[in-house]
Every structure is written in C-alpha cells, then in structure tokens.
Amino acid sequence: MERRDFLSDVAMYSALCTGLPNAWRVTARPSLAGDPFTLGVASGDPTPTGAMIWTRLAPEPLDPDGGMGGQRTNVAWEVAEDEQFARIVQKGRATSVPELGYSVHADVSGLASDRWYFYRFTLQNGSSPVGRLRTAPAAGVMTPLVFGFVSCNHYEQGYYTAFDHLAREGQLDLVTHLGDYIYETTGVDGRTRKYASSEVRTLDDYRVRYAQTKTDPMLQAAHARAPWVVTWDDHEVDNNYAGLIGENEMESEDQMRVRRAAGYQAWWEHQPVRVPRARNWSDLNITRRVEWGGLAAFHVLDTRQYRSDQPCGDRGQPVPCGDWGDPTHTLMGAQQEKWLDDGMAASRARWQVLANQVRIMPFDDNPGPVAQYYMDSWAGYPAAIDRLMKTIGRHAPNRTVALTGDIHSNWVNTLHTRYDRPDAPTIAAEFVGTSISSGGDGADAFGSWNDGTRAANPQCIWHNGRRGYVMCSVGAEEWATSYRTVPYVSKVGAPIETAARFSIRNGKPGIERT
C-alpha cells in the first residue's frame, strides 16, 4: 500500500466516522501529551513465515489509561529487510482501543523463513523505535538455534543489567520468558526503585504495573533485539495461586476469577503473543507450541491456571503429608497433560523443550529419614511428575529439556523414570534459570544448598544463587547451556560472567559439565 492510499483511507475513515459519537472515531493522528511509544516494541512467537509484533500506546505510562484519553487510533506497521526501511516487505494497520489497553498486536505473515527483519509502528505523529524479528526455519530444516531464557524480573528488587547483557549477546535468535514478568506486590520504600502502587488487583492496576516495568530501557532493548516466547507464572496474578485459590484464603473463588481475568488480560495486552482472546479473560488459554524447524519444538506450558491446590500449604513440608500423594492432583490439568503427550508424540523435532515454570526435580532440602519438598513446585504433586516422566519416557527420552524459572537460583538437574529415585534411568535434563533481578544481589549458594543436601540430591549436579540468565546453543547432536550471571543488581553496570557450562547429547542420558 502506498502512503497516499493510507492517507486517503484515513480520510475516508474520518468521513465515515463523523456521524458517530466521538468515542467511536478512529484517528491516525491522536492528540498526545508526549511520545506514545514509551513502552517500546516487541516481537514474539515466530513461525516460518512471520511473527507477532507488539506495541502499546502510552504517552503517560503510569496513568491507567496511558494518557490516551479514550482515543481510538489507527496504527500503521511495517516490516523491512533493512533498518532504514528502504526495502519494506510487509505492512498493515491495526487499531489501538481503550478496551484492550491501547495495545497493538499484528500477526505478520508472508515473510521468508529463517531470516532477520526489522519492524516499526507509525502514527502520523511519528514512529516507534525499531525492533528486530527473526522467522523460524521451515519445517524439517535443522538450522542451529541460540536462545536465552529468563524469569522473575522484580522491578523493585534490582536493575535489569542482565537484560542489558542479554540484548548484547553475539547471537540471540530467541528469548523465552518463564514467568514472574511483573510482581503484584505492594511497593516498598527503600528498595532499588519503587512500584507506583500497593498490591495490584484490578485491570487498571495490572496495566500500570506492566507499564512501569516496561518503561525500563534495558528490558525494552532485550525485547527489541529478538522475538520472545512468553509464558506466565504466579506473580502475573497472585503469589503461589493455584487455579482459583489465591494466597489470601479470605479471597473467594469468584473474587479470584475476577482478579485472574484482570491479570490475564493485562498480560495479553503487554506481550507479543499469538494467543487468541478468550470469551472470558479468566480462562485465557496460553499453552501453545513454537517450532524451530526440525531442530526443536517448544511446548509452552501453564502450570498455574489448571493446577490443584498445593497439598499441605505452599512451603517446604516433610512428606507424605495431607493429600500429597493423591493421584488425581495435577499441575497442568488433564487437558493440557493430553495436549503435551499428543504434541510430543506427533513432533519429529530432535529436541522437545518444555517452557516450564516451577522446578520439576524433587529436591530434598532436609536430608534424613524423611524427605522434605517445596510444595509449590512439581515435588508437591508426585502423581503429576510421574505422568510427565511417562510422557517423556514414551516419546522423547534423553532428548527432552525442561527450562524452569520461579526459584531465583540456578540448578542443573537430571530427571529420572522414577521421580524420587536418582538411581533410576535418566530420561531428561532440567535447566533451572535464576531471576533477572528478583531477590536482589544474590549469592553463590541459595538457602538450602549445603554439603548435606548436596549429598542427598545426586540428581542435582550444579547450583548457584546469582542473578542472570541462561544461554542455550542447540544443534542436532549437541545442546550446550551457559549460565550467565551478574555479581550484583543493586547498582547498574555489573559485568557479565559465565558461571558454568554444560552439554548434553541427543539421545544420550546425562549432563556433562564442560
């Protein structure tokens, strides 16, 4: 489409709209108090022919309305082969409306596979920053993949130095975010920086929380650099929630349904995800697959929305306790368990990747005659781990890799046919990545890691409690993982270090430190 057509379309739109109430007019030149692109741009969920591209208009990001004053806006987008946009290959328009937080999602298609592109959004007032997207290889193609995975960027608890380093990695085809992108908690004085409100509960609250988090330039740089595949964990709604059971036991299921709808909608509005809107936002299904040619299939999981309540509180507990062993307990829900099993059965990709939230490997953190597990992790749901191990064992033993977040520390674990028997055959690797900033500066070791727990948990082969992210370099035969850490997040400017490297071979059990 030529620019002239675009302008005449806009003129036609305006003419069409003059008979309508003001609230329904769509403009390509909104009146703005400032730059509307304060939250940056993002791409995500790549396919062999395109990707999602995202922005949100918010000249005043800490205003629940973003400072848009109800204006419905026509936003143009362009995808080009070059950063100067001389060779534009796709373009289109999207409407930004108050009902969806002025977010803009465009599902770009018609691009060549396995290639980098540039994208931007434009109003008549000006253009957004430029982002980069990369299409996936075509079905069956074995192009190697270099991706990073991240989780837990508590805005108050530290600077996003790790995102800055991630954005500068030499090769970065993709980023996976495993949840806790925002935290719902009350702003606290005396931290590195402060959330603008008390605990968030309403759609307006969550929008402001996302907006404040997204004003960070280092986070914006990491989004602009490469497409992301984003899932969520608990803090996108409420700490350690399970299904419709919240942290505060006085909060009813109806209240939690309303709260979940607010949290889920705000998540959708702020992420570059190819997730169809739900009839009810409280039931938004975000499970999906991202295929990287014939090399890797990413199964993007949701272990929060469909899970049973934690069996005996959400802390560490000696087991068995309460209904801990109940075979009907689930983290993914029966439907998602089947979806994963079917998907792994059907996939011909060399590597099956689980974009997972909470730790799968049961870690006994009180060695002695009775094991003690953390109930908010998979270890609180032994029947569910058992079913997951059966799925892996049936379809992709020793070529399944779980990526995990949640616990603000790094762990490298082997997973076994019997979840509580490290001497049983190894069938998968789990790489747990630390937080970007949650928990503050971090330390080499996390609370329960000591000589005793190390000896009691031979399935855990490495641990570290620093902040950072994890880089994975994936080929048809070898998967290499590098733990990238920063020594502090309470000040800016921390250098990046590689704390440890690991390697696994496709089809071979075990993880080797390299």
Residues in contact with Ca ion by CB under 5 A are: 180, 233-234, 406
- What are 15's two structure tokens? 């003419």
CB of 199 to Ca ion, least distance (A): 16
Residue 152 sits in the site that holds Fe ion (CB under 5 A):
yes
CB of 159 to Fe ion, least distance (A): 16
For Fe ion, give the closer residue by CB, 113 or 438: 438
- 234 makes contact, choosing from Fe ion, Ca ion, none, with CB < 5 to 8 Å by partner type, with Ca ion
Yes or no: say if 256 and 238 are a contact pair by the CB < 8 Å rule: yes
What single DSSP character describes residue 380? G
For Fe ion, give the closer residue by CB, 74 or 271: 271
Q: Is 362 exposed, middle or buried (0-12, 13-18, 19+ CB in 10 A)?
A: buried
Nearest residue to 235 (alpha-carbon basis) of 406, 354, 57, 75: 406
Yes or no: say if 504 and 512 are a contact pair by the CB < 8 Å rule: yes
CB of 319 to Ca ion, least distance (A): 21
CB of 234 to Ca ion, least distance (A): 5
Q: Which are the contacts of 377, defined by CB distance < 8 A and separation ≥ 6?
A: 358, 359, 360, 362, 406, 407
For Fe ion, give the closer residue by CB, 180 or 364: 180
Residue 303 sits in the site that holds Fe ion (CB under 5 A):
no
With b for 16 or more beta-carbon neighbours within 10 A and e for fewer, the 311-343 pattern comes to bbebebbebebeebeeeebbbbbeebbebbbeb
Yes or no: say if 470 and 489 are a contact pair by the CB < 8 Å rule: no
- 438 makes contact, choosing from Ca ion, Fe ion, none, with CB < 5 to 8 Å by partner type, with Fe ion
Torsion, CA 389, CA 390, CA 396, CA 399, rounded to 10: 20
- 282 makes contact, choosing from Ca ion, Fe ion, none, with CB < 5 to 8 Å by partner type, with none
- Look up tokens 């997730």; give the residue: 275
Yes or no: say if 78 and 119 are a contact pair by the CB < 8 Å rule: yes
Centre a 10 Å sphere on the Cβ of residue 421 and count the other Cβ atoms it contains.
Answer: 10
CB of 414 to Fe ion, least distance (A): 24
As a whole number of angstroms, the distance between CA 262 and CA 401 comes to 32
Candidates 102-110, 148-156, 293-301, 500-508: pick the segment binding Fe ion (CB under 5 A): 148-156
- What are 303's two structure tokens? 């272990």
Within 455-514, which residues bind Fe ion (CB under 5 A)? Answer: none
For Ca ion, give the closer residue by CB, 184 or 234: 234
Residue 443 host element (H or E)? strand 442-443
CB of 183 to Fe ion, least distance (A): 7
Nearest residue to 358 (alpha-carbon basis) of 458, 464, 232, 249: 232
What's the half-sphere exposure (Cβ side, CA atoms, 13 Å) at 391? 25
Helix 253-270 / helix 203-214 crossing angle, nearest 10 deg: 40
CB of 511 to Fe ion, least distance (A): 24
CB of 337 to Ca ion, least distance (A): 21
For Fe ion, give the closer residue by CB, 352 or 404: 404
Residue 173 sits in the site that holds Fe ion (CB under 5 A):
no
- 173 makes contact, choosing from Fe ion, Ca ion, none, with CB < 5 to 8 Å by partner type, with none
Candidates 21-29, 54-62, 252-260, 431-439: pick the segment binding Fe ion (CB under 5 A): 431-439
Helix 203-214 / helix 217-225 crossing angle, nearest 10 deg: 80
For Fe ion, give the closer residue by CB, 359 or 387: 359
Interface characters, 118-147, with Fe ion (x: CB under 5 A): ------------------------------
As a whole number of angstroms, the distance between CA 16 and CA 4 comes to 18
Residue 438 sits in the site that holds Fe ion (CB under 5 A):
yes
For Ca ion, give the closer residue by CB, 164 or 238: 238
For Fe ion, give the closer residue by CB, 71 or 438: 438
CB of 314 to Fe ion, least distance (A): 13
For Ca ion, give the closer residue by CB, 201 or 359: 359
> How many degrees, rounded to 5, is the angle at CA 400 between CA 398 and CA 406?
130
For Ca ion, give the closer residue by CB, 109 or 248: 248
Side chain identity at residue 319, one-letter code: V
For Fe ion, give the closer residue by CB, 53 or 436: 436
Q: Applying CB under 5 A, what is the total number of residues that bind Fe ion?
A: 3
CB of 183 to Ca ion, least distance (A): 9
CB of 497 to Ca ion, least distance (A): 25
Q: Which string of DSSP letters, residue by residue, matches 250-278?
A: TS-HHHHHHHHHHHHHHHHHHS----PPP
- 156 makes contact, choosing from Ca ion, Fe ion, none, with CB < 5 to 8 Å by partner type, with none
- 238 makes contact, choosing from Ca ion, Fe ion, none, with CB < 5 to 8 Å by partner type, with none
Binding Fe ion (rule: CB under 5 A), the pick from 156, 180, 314, 365 is: 180
Residue 162 sits in the site that holds Fe ion (CB under 5 A):
no
Residues at the interface with Fe ion (CB under 5 A): 152, 180, 438
